[in-house]
Structure 1
Amino acid sequence: MRQVLRTGLVSAIALSGLASLAWLLPAPRPVTAKPMGGESAQAIAAATIAPLPPLTPREHWPDSPLTDDLLWQGDASAAQLRLLTAIAHSLSYLDTPAAAEAYANYPIEGVTRDRVRRSLQRFRTLVLTSASSAELQTAVQQEFQLYQSIGNDGEGKVHFTGYFEPTYAASRVPTAEYRYPLYRRPANLDEWVLPHPTRMELEGKDGLQSASGPLKGLELVWMRDRLEAFLVQVQGSARLRLTDGSFMSVGYAGRTEYDYVSLGRELINDGQVPAEGMTLERLLDFFAANPAALDDYIPRNDRFVFFRETAGGPPTGTFSVPVTAGRSIATDKAIMPPGALALITLDWPIPDADDTWQAMPISRYVLNQDTGGAIQGPGRVDIYVGSGDAAGAQAGQVNTDGQLFFLLLKQ
């Protein structure tokens, strides 16, 4: 697929909206014994491992290119630094009470917080002491056990998309042009009674009525387009270009407890756009021609995301650690081990000089450091590509099947 550039508002959204196709594409159904809609995380996990566990031990290394040869090619020091930085962030997460809680009753036998931590520490040592990708791979094969995701089909097929940190125009004060807020996390969010207020109750049908509800006074920054503000909630972070020329970054700070509802899927269900060939471009064309329809479709997604200013630092995933370009992935946190070391194999888009894209098979070490509303089941992975328009263009090309493995020290 070739990146399509458009002008004006739609162009800005097209580049940033491609940050993740996950919110647009229907999620593949996992292999489960019962539907997953509406259950708690524990119920989802229990459903997903019956009759097949989401991860299964594998004895043999996947038939793929040499794993992570870029760690010792070209600017190897930068590639290694990104990987080591991502490992450090995962180790930091594993020392938190949130990690202890996540692993307390983990549904996959043999996957414990201590084993994940020891695996990361040992892998870090191997990266620092290995002289080549081949040497690292040999050591990992000797010391680590592979656990493969069963994927969408029970046989390991995982669908990959890409996401990135977009840049939008915004204002620190409301104006006639900048009217749609992003909000800080309410101080008493943990005390809100379930079910939480719906999106309609929080911001109104038109997205402008928050002053009369619990979000009053929590406005962090204002955006000029409602769809852009919604896309930032879907992505969970953004880089904002303010009206005075300075930049501001915002990251995920919490959300209401509702299932994610895909805007694209709702349009398909209503017969507004065809399911076949559904693209972001087609969705944007629909709302450009029917702007009033936003008042109908956006309130259907009751999940509401809150933000904090991140002082220009890297975007933060839902495990409250920064994500690293090319090294952080998002999976279903109910079934995949948070913070753990993983190996992904897929066709990766590489830009050519003539503005086309070539798919190159890769095998890469990554860290499981994020999740997403549309990333559900053992057959979905979202890869964080980076920040800015170039990362957005590349992220938009990631829409392919591959394989996902987690690596743990042999017991």
Structure 2
Amino acid sequence: MQARLLLEDGTLFTGKAFGAEGQSTGEVVFNTGITGYQEVISDPSYCGQIVTMTHPLIGNYGITRDDFEAIRPYIHGFVVRRHEPVPSNWRAEYTLDSLLKEYGIVGISEIDTRMLTRILRNHGTMKGILTTGSMPVEELKEMLGMSELMRDQVARTSTPTSYSSPGDGERIVLIDYGAKSGIVRELTKRGCDVVVVPHDTTAEEIRRLKPDGIQLSNGPGDPKDVPHAVATLKELIGEYPIFGICLGHQLFALASGADTTRLKFGHRGGNHPVKELATNRCFITSQNHGYTVLEDSIKGTDLEVTHINNNDKSIEGLKHKKYPVFTVQYHPEAAPGPYDNSYLFDQFLDMIREHKLAHPKAPRQAEIVAAAMKGDL
């Protein structure tokens, strides 16, 4: 079956369909990863996007239960040079084609993904429509022109209810803006008692959970589309140690008085070099984002830049000058790799322990007595 991808600038790609039949619109982006297509497909940060893989062979190692980063994929389409229908991998449980069919995701192969990537790099990401139908191109252009990019991706991907991953270590409240499961995995690996809460959980509701620290997750879309999250963080900064990842990094910057802007074509892949300014050490990182913190907006705030991207010099890490808060734009939980940056979770827990030593809490009995005397119990 034939499939077509039409960009908003009028460029048309015609190829071979795989996955589900139908059509969908979304922001067309590209990912430079060589492996990890299953993790890319199931990363909630791609919600509303048609993802192009620059590596030419996709599907060759199949799909396995253990590699999902969310309960289901959220992408709006998948674009590859060559789709391999028969995987060769002892871990494979089913095919890429069957995964896309199961969730109604249209795929297209046998197109020039190098040309498509060059267009996106030169002109920036743009809207596109991916279809297996026979609708005339002029009608597709009209549909694409009338469509709008999603603005509610965080609400679509965040957990609707709180849940926990119990542990006997520090209690971490993970605010889910579209979190990858790798974040919970890294925290539980370190013995943390993790409580995952929805994106619109209030500061008071988080306080009731008695966290030792707060983890801000990754997530899709423009950070300015979730102003309630910024308002909540403004209340929490200074009360608890906080570690933010990707969208959580951008929300922290907004809550601290900085500003964000859209990148021309974003950073998506597992080969992005990031320099840690304190040591001049370069780390290879996994990234997936289309927005960045504006460097000029840092002036006059209590923020300090800790990491920069070695390719375009954009901000990749921040910390607060007064409070125990640090954030990074990239993915230390990787999935797909590289795994060089998982040490940041250890750094987060060390920060929590130092904060607890510097700010010892009153015994629980004293808290109960004080609350009873105030009439709160």
Q: TM-score w.r.t. structure 1 length?
A: 0.24
Higher strand fraction (1 or 2): 2
Greater RCO, CA 8 A, separation 6+? 1
Q: TM-score w.r.t. structure 2 length?
A: 0.26
